[in-house]
Every structure is written in structure tokens, then in C-alpha cells.
């Protein structure tokens, strides 16, 4: 590991250590924050007991389905809009505004329409994720080099073959950025919905544990969500960087 | 000519969306989703009432505090990590992974620390806004071409002159982009905080209306928030555009 990496690790370990010490020495009330070691301990016990397996499967399942729908549908919509420049120009202001308005406030309205079930959570997850995928698809298709399209003409490739064998691989790094964003946005929307109002799911369990003053359970599940989100995001980020480097695209 | 046609096309899509709303209303029924016309007439009646104004003011006050904290802390972190190379290299990946976390998970911690109070909602809002402001400020400072600083030295500019005539203009467009994203996320954070646990504010109004099945009120509040966020975003985008294309 590089020197910077070691310093970063040291800073994180120090921060966690300070929190641990402050909790153990009683500077922080255990009714407010419990020690990190206690959180980890509670998480391990909870995972071994299997009490929340069902809720975990539900939440992560909804996220996976929402992201899958958003990615496939978003790519298809992106292809469609890219083929219609006039529609695309008209949609441009909507794309610029979409993530600026809190889409999430639609969630209660969806609950009113579809009832308190898995449907509104799934829908808000898809809605929050799909536009990122559409925008990434448009960006990717814009950057397919002209010379590739000429090559396709020279080789008399049909439109379907051009789309699948040239456009898709050429746009892939940008599409992957869209997938990465879709995962992150889908995750946030599903967890937030479960927190605010849901019949079940990890967000609901955390919010119940909060109301019951069950701190070990609450912090254990928070830790679980944070670990899962961090690992997934870091893995996607690493793949994204590698693809971008291979294609010679510099990414921020 | 093309600009008017583009505006007309955008308007046509807006009309199509309202039509889709009407169709959905016909399908799911009036109690689940009132149509656009009754909702808009409800909006005209509800917005001037004291109840709406009180809650909107509560949200605005909370948002203003949260935004001030987001910007102040975000800019401070951004300048520090942009100017000091080692801190930036150490801190950037940490900031990026914090940025992608679903921060709603941490709201109960904020509540345990602050209780159901204004400082809690402000903190939660600021938690959302700080990271994009810090990240974009940092990258703006790092991306200053070194030749600018050399030119400033060659011209014997004082520190204050260097900051105001070289550094600030060079970083401003990207910083404003950060402020725009920070604005959006702070608003989301404040609304989430009000939806989860509060007795006032527009987020509370939406959740309250949902439990009373007052769909018109829910959509009214949503439409007003949308209009507010969209206008603010358009204004900041316009500023950004102006900064990018100045001569």
C-alpha cells in the first residue's frame, strides 16, 4: 500500500479508536452512541441468530430488482431518445432538472395510489435510478467514434449488428458509469422509503429499533448497511476506473 | 427560431405529462389520485392559507441554516484539501465513499444526539450538502493551471491580488457547480428529516396528508417544492453557464 494509503488507514483507525475510547470512558452516553466494538459485536450476533435474514433478503432483493429494471429500461430509453434528436433537445431541460428536485417526495403519493406494499418502494427506486442510466447512455452513444460507424458501413453491417457489436462495446465505459449511479441512487431511494414508511425491510427495522430505544440492534443494522453500501460502491468504482483507463478516458 | 421551436417542444412534453396525469387519474380513481384540474384549484386555495405559509416558513428557515452550514463547512474542507496536497490525497476517497452512502441510515444517530429539534434537522440537511461542495471545491483548486500562479508571481501580485484576480475567477465555475448540487441535496436532507420525524415543515405536511389520505394536499406541497427546486436550479445553472462562457 502507498504512503497515502497508510496515512488514510491510520486516520480512520484513530477516528474509530477515539470514538471507542470516548464511549468506553463515558464521555459519550451509551444511550446516544454505543462503542464501535459493541456495534460490531451486536452485528455479528444478529447475523448468527438469523433474525433479520428475511428483512435483508427483502431489502437487497428490492434494490437489485429496481436497479435491474432501471438499467435495462434506461438503456432502451437512451437508445430511443438518442435516435430522435428533436425529442432529445426537448427533454434536455427535464434532464437538467431531474436530480435537482426531490423526486423522493413522490413516495407518499405512490403509497396513496398503490397502497403500502412493495410496489411504491420499487417504483421510487426505479424512478430515482433510471434517469441517471438514460443520461449515461446518451453520453456514451455521443462518444462512439465516427470512424467506427464508417467501418460498419464499409463492412455492410446491419443496424442491429452495429448497435450490438459496435455501439454497445464502444459506449460500455459510459454505460457502466450509469450502472454505478443507478445502484447508488436505487440503494438510497429504497432505504429511505423503508425508513419513512414501509411494511417491512431493513430501513423499517432500524426505524423500529430507534423507536424502541434498542440501540445495539439499531447500530448493528446501520453498520451493516454502511458496510454493504461502501463495499458495493468501492467495487463499482474500481471497475469503473479500470474500464475508463483501458479506454483511455480520463474520469474525475 | 430554433430556440422557440425547442421551447415549444419542451412545452409539448409538459402538456403530455399533465395528460398522462389525467389518464392515470381516470385509471386509479379520484381518491387515490385527483386529476390535475381539482389539484390546481386546491393549490390556489391552499397556498395562501396560514397553515401552508407557517410550514413553508419552517422548512425555509431550517433549509437556510442547513445551507449556510453546508456551504461554510464544505468550502472550508474543499479549500483545505485542495490547497494541501497530502490532506487531499488522504481525504478524497473518504469523502467520495461518504458521498455515496445513504445518509438517511444515520438520521437516528442525529436524532439521539439532538432530539426532535431544529438543530437536528439542520445537521441532517448539512450532512447531505457538505460533501459535494467540498469535493467540487477541492477539484476546482487542484485543476488551476500552474501557469496562472507563475504569471501571478511574474507580475508581482500581492497575496490578496492573487486570490481575487487569479484564484477566485479560475475556480468559480466549478465551485458554483458544487454549490448547486449542495443546494439540491441539502433540500432533500431537510425534507427527509421532516418526513421522518418532525411536527412542522413541508415534509411533515406531506406525511400528515398521506395518513389523512389528503392526496390533493400532498400533490400541492410536492408541486410547490418542485417549482422551488427547479427555479433555484435553473438560476444556479444559468450562473454556472455565464461563468464558463465569460471572456
**Does residue A30 lie within any of the structural domains?**
no
Distance CA A35, CA A24 (A): 7
Chain A stretch 34-73, residues whose beta carbon is closer than 8 A to a beta carbon of chain B = none
Please give the share of chain A, as a percent, with pLDDT higher than 90: 37
- Between helix B107-114 and helix A215-246 the angle, nearest 10°, is 140
Question: What pTM value is reported for the model?
Answer: 0.87
Region for residue B115 given its phi and psi (left: phi exceeds 0; alpha: psi -120 to 50; beta: otherwise): left
**Does residue A148 lie within any of the structural domains?**
yes
Please give the share of chain A, as a percent, with pLDDT higher than 70: 98
The dihedrals phi and psi of B156, each to the nearest 5 degrees, come to 55, 45
3-state secondary structure of B63: helix
Neighboring chain B residues of A131 at a CB cutoff of 8 Å: none
The pLDDT of residue B209: 87
Closest by alpha carbon to A199, among A111, A67, A104, A109? A111
Task: Indicate yes or no: CB of B139 within 8 angstroms of CB of A252.
Answer: yes
Q: Please count the structural domains in chain A.
A: 1
The pLDDT of residue A249: 57
- Between helix B118-142 and helix B50-83 the angle, nearest 10°, is 40
- For A175, which DSSP code? H
Is the predicted pLDDT of residue A247 greater than 70, yes or no? Answer: no
Alpha-carbon torsion (B127, A59, A68, A118), positive or negative: negative
The pLDDT of residue A26: 84
Residue pLDDT, tens place only, A116-172? 889 999 999 999 999 999 999 998 888 888 888 888 888 888 877 887 788 888 888
Helix, strand and coil percent figures for chain A, each rounded to 5: 80, 0, 20
Say what the alpha-carbon torsion angle A26, A28, A33, A34 is, to the nearest 10 degrees.
-20
Distance CA A233, CA A245 (A): 18
Residues of chain B predicted below pLDDT 50? none
The pLDDT of residue B247: 54
Residues in chain B: 247
The pLDDT of residue B53: 92
ipTM exceeding the 0.85 mark: no
The pLDDT of residue A41: 92
Q: What pLDDT band is residue A252 in, cutting at 50, 70 and 90?
A: very low
Task: Indicate yes or no: CB of A197 within 8 angstroms of CB of B210.
Answer: yes
**Does residue A35 lie within any of the structural domains?**
no
| A208-237: average pLDDT | 89
* Cell numbers placing A48: 448468527
B59 touches chain A (CB under 8 A): no
**Does residue A46 lie within any of the structural domains?**
no
* Cell numbers placing B183: 443546494
**Does residue A77 lie within any of the structural domains?**
yes
Distance CA A129, CA A141 (A): 19
- The residue range of the domain holding A196 is 53-246
**Does residue A48 lie within any of the structural domains?**
no
- How far does B80 lie from chain A, in Å, by closest CA? 16
- How far does A93 lie from chain B, in Å, by closest CA? 8
**Does residue A4 lie within any of the structural domains?**
no
CATH number at residue A96: 1.10.3720.10
**Does residue A144 lie within any of the structural domains?**
yes
Neighboring chain B residues of A39 at a CB cutoff of 8 Å: none
Closest by alpha carbon to B191, among A181, A196, A112? A196
Residue pLDDT, tens place only, A5-50? 899 899 999 999 999 999 888 888 888 888 899 999 999 999 999 8
Distance CA A244, CA B47 (A): 49
Amino acid at each position: 500500500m502507498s504512503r497515502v494509503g497508510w496515512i488514510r488507514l491510520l486516520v480512520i483507525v484513530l477516528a474509530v479508536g477515539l470514538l471507542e475510547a470516548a464511549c468506553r470512558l463515558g464521555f459519550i452516553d451509551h444511550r446516544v452512541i454505543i462503542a464501535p466494538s459493541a456495534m460490531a459485536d451486536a452485528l455479528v450476533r444478529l447475523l448468527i441468530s438469523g433474525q433479520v435474514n428475511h428483512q435483508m433478503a427483502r431489502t437487497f432483493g428490492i434494490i437489485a430488482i429496481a436497479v435491474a429494471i432501471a438499467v435495462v429500461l434506461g438503456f432502451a430509453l437512451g437508445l430511443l431518445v438518442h435516435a430522435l434528436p428533436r425529442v432529445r433537445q426537448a427533454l434536455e431541460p427535464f434532464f437538467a432538472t431531474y436530480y435537482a428536485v426531490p423526486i423522493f417526495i413522490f413516495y407518499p403519493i405512490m403509497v396513496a395510489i398503490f397502497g403500502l406494499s412493495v410496489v411504491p418502494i420499487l417504483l421510487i427506486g426505479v424512478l430515482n435510478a433510471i434517469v441517471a442510466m438514460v443520461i449515461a447512455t446518451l453520453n456514451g452513444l455521443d462518444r462512439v467514434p465516427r470512424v467506427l460507424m464508417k467501418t460498419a458501413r464499409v463492412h455492410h453491417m446491419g443496424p442491429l449488428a452495429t448497435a450490438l457489436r459496435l455501439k454497445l462495446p464502444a459506449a460500455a465505459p459510459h454505460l457502466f458509469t450509469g450502472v454505478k449511479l443507478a445502484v447508488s441512487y436505487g440503494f438510497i431511494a429504497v432505504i429511505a422509503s423503508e425508513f419513512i414508511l414501509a411494511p417491512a425491510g431493513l430501513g423499517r427495522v432500524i426505524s423500529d429499533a430507534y423507536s424502541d430505544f434498542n440501540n445495539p440492534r439499531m447500530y448493528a443494522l446501520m453498520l451493516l448497511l454502511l458496510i454493504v453500501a461502501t463495499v458495493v460502491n468501492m467495487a463499482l468504482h474500481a471497475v469503473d476506473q479500470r474500464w475508463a483507463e483501458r479506454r483511455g478516458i480520463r474520469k474525475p | 427560431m430554433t430556440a422557440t421551436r425547442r421551447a415549444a417542444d419542451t412545452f409539448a412534453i409538459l402538456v403530455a405529462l399533465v395528460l398522462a396525469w389525467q389518464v392515470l387519474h381516470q385509471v386509479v380513481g379520484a381518491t387515490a389520485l385527483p386529476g390535475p384540474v381539482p389539484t390546481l384549484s386546491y393549490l390556489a386555495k391552499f397556498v395562501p392559507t396560514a397553515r401552508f405559509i407557517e410550514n413553508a416558513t419552517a422548512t425555509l428557515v431550517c433549509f437556510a441554516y442547513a445551507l449556510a452550514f453546508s456551504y461554510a463547512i464544505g468550502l472550508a474542507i474543499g479549500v483545505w484539501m485542495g490547497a494541501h496536497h497530502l490532506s487531499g490525497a488522504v481525504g478524497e476517497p473518504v469523502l467520495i465513499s461518504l458521498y455515496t452512502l445513504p445518509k438517511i441510515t444515520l438520521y437516528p444517530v442525529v436524532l439521539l444526539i439532538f432530539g426532535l429539534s431544529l438543530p437536528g434537522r439542520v445537521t441532517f440537511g448539512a450532512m447531505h450538502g457538505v460533501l459535494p461542495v467540498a469535493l467540487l471545491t477541492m477539484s476546482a483548486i487542484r485543476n488551476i493551471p500552474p501557469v496562472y500562479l507563475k504569471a501571478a508571481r511574474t507580475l508581482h501580485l500581492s497575496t490578496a491580488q492573487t486570490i481575487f484576480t487569479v484564484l477566485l475567477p479560475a475556480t468559480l465555475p466549478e465551485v458554483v457547480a458544487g454549490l448547486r448540487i449542495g443546494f439540491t441535496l441539502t433540500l432533500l436532507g431537510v425534507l427527509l428529516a421532516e418526513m421522518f420525524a418532525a411536527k412542522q415543515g413541508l415534509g411533515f405536511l406531506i406525511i400528515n396528508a398521506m395518513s389523512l389520505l389528503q392526496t390533493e394536499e400532498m400533490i400541492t406541497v410536492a408541486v410547490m417544492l418542485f417549482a422551488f427546486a427547479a427555479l433555484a436550479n435553473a438560476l444556479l445553472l444559468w450562473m454556472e453557464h455565464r461563468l464558463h462562457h465569460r471572456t
